[in-house]
Amino acid sequence: MDNSDVDSNYTSEDESEYSFRNSSQHSTYSLEMHRNEIILDDNNTNQQELDNEGNENDEHQSNRTLSDVEANQITFKFKSNITSFYDKEKNSEFVKLLIKLIVIDMLPFSLVDSIYFIEFIQKLNPKFKCPGHITLKNEVMSEFNSRHERIIDFVKNIPEDFDLKQKVISVTTDNRSNIIVACRLLKNDFNDQTPALDFIHSRCICHILNLAVNAGLKFIENLIKKLRKIVKSIRRTQLYLEELERLVIAANHTFKHPILDVKTRWNSTFLMAECVLTLKEDLSIIKSRHQPLQDIWLNEREWEKIEHLVTLLSQFHIATTELSTQTYPTIAYARVVLLGLLVDLNENRNHNYPLSEVLLAIRNKIQEYWVHIDKMTHVLAFFDPRYKTIAYKNLEINEILEPIRNNFSDSALSNLPSNNSTSIFVQHLSSVRQQRNANTDELLKYWESADASFDIEPLSWWHAHSTEYPILSKGPELFISTSFFSAL
C-alpha cells in the first residue's frame, strides 16, 4: 500500500486485518499471521513505552503531536504491506533491468554473487530473488541469442547503401561461431545476386594460424611462464640491464632490451623466445654472478624446448608477415601457405621430438580448417597463373581439372555474348560447343603452360592473354578478386 493512500483514521489494526484477508487466499497465510503478531506486539510495546514515559514526564506528554503518532502508524503499515505488492511479474522486470545493467556497463556476472550486492538488494527489496551468476549468464545469452540476425541485417544494408548489391560476391571474416552462422544465412540471400558464382564466405587465414598456434602453446604454458619470469627479472633490475648492455656492446652488437611478450599474442611470445636465445650466452654470464637469476634459470631440457619452439613458430611468423604485407594477396597464395605449413608439420621427426604435443595440436587445428579451405579454394586458386601447378598436392590431373570444369561451365555460359538476331536454339548449341572447347582445350592448355612470374598481377596476366584463352579469361575477375584476409 502506498503511503499516499494512508489517512489519519487508518490504524495498524486495520492494516493487520487487511493483510489477514489477503494472505488467507494464498499459501503464505500462516507466515502472514505470525508476522502480524510480531508487528502488533511491537505496536503494543511501543505504546507501553510511551505510557511509561508519560507517567514520568507528564509535562512533555502534551507536546507529542498527532503527526508523531501518524508517523509510527505509517511505519507499521509499510512493514505489513512490503510483501503484498511483490509478485513474479515484478521479479521478472527486475531481472531484465539487472541484465541491462550488466550488459551496458560491462559488469562481471559474479557481481550478483557478492555478499555486499546481495545485502544492498535485500535492503531495497527483501522479496527480490536475485539470480546467481550462472543463471544470469544463461539469461543474457538467451536475451541476445539473435545477434547473428542483427549482423545480417546490418551487412545486407551496406551494399544497398553504396549501390553494390549486384557486385558483392564474397565476404571475409574471422572464425567466430556467431560470424559463421551470420554468413551462412547471408549467403542464401546473396546467391541470387551473382548467378555466375555462388556467394563465398572465406575465413581469414591469419586468424586460422593464430588459432592453431595458440592451441599448441597451451601444452607448454608453464615453460613460457618461466621464460617470461626471467625476462621480467632482467627488465626490472637495472644492474642486470647495465651488465647485459656492456656484454653486448663488447661483442660489437647492437643492444636492445629483452622483449616481454603479450600473453594473448603468440607472435610476441615467439619474438620474446627468439630474443632470449640471441642473448642466452650473455645472460648466462650475468646469471653466474647473481643468485636470484640462478634460482629461476631454465635447465638444459627446457632450453632445448625453447630452441625447437623458435624453429617451429618461425614458419608461422613468416607466413603471417607475408600474408599481412602483400599488397595483392590472393586465395591461391593462401592455399600455398597452408599447404607449405602442413608439409613442414608433417616432416619426419623422431619420436623424441621435445614438442610433439605442441606440433600435433597445431597440425590438427590447421587440418580441421583445411577441410573447408581446400574445398573452397580448389577452383579459385586455379586461376592464379603464378601458383596453379603448386597449389594442388598429391592430386591427379583429372582430380584437379574436373571440379574446375564443372564449376566454370555455368560462369562461362553466363558471360557468353548473345546475338539477338540468332535463333535461341542456335545460341544454346553454340554455347554447349564453346563450353566443350573450353573444357577440353583451354583448361588443359592453361594447365600445361608455364607458371607466371611471382611479381605479376594475375588480372593483368589474364588481360594480356585474353585472346589466347577467350573463354577462360571471362572468369578470373570473379574468382581471383575474393580475398582470404581480414583486418590485415
* Residues whose CB falls within 8 Å of the CB of residue 478, separated by 6 or more in sequence, listed in order: 169, 194, 196, 197, 411
Distance (Å, whole) CA 164 – CA 323: 27
Q: Which three cell numbers stand for residue 191?
A: 546467391
CA distance 475 to 152: 28
- Please list, in sequence order, all residues whose beta carbon lies within 8 angstroms of the beta carbon of residue 122, skipping any fewer than 6 positions away: 128
Give the DSSP H or E segment for 171. strand 170-173
- Note the pLDDT of residue 273: 96
List the chain pLDDT tens, one digit each, 488 residues: 444 444 444 444 444 444 444 444 444 444 444 445 444 455 555 555 545 545 544 444 444 444 444 444 444 444 434 444 446 677 778 888 888 888 888 888 888 888 998 889 888 888 888 888 888 888 777 766 666 667 767 877 777 777 776 777 778 888 888 788 778 877 777 766 655 556 778 888 889 999 999 999 999 999 999 999 999 999 999 999 999 999 999 988 888 899 999 988 899 999 999 999 999 999 999 999 999 999 999 999 999 999 999 999 999 999 999 888 777 677 888 899 999 999 889 886 777 899 999 999 999 999 999 988 888 888 888 888 998 888 888 888 888 888 888 876 554 434 434 444 445 555 444 554 455 554 557 888 898 888 888 888 888 899 899 888 888 887 666 555 555 555 33
3-state helix, strand, coil in the chain (%, to 5): 70, 0, 30
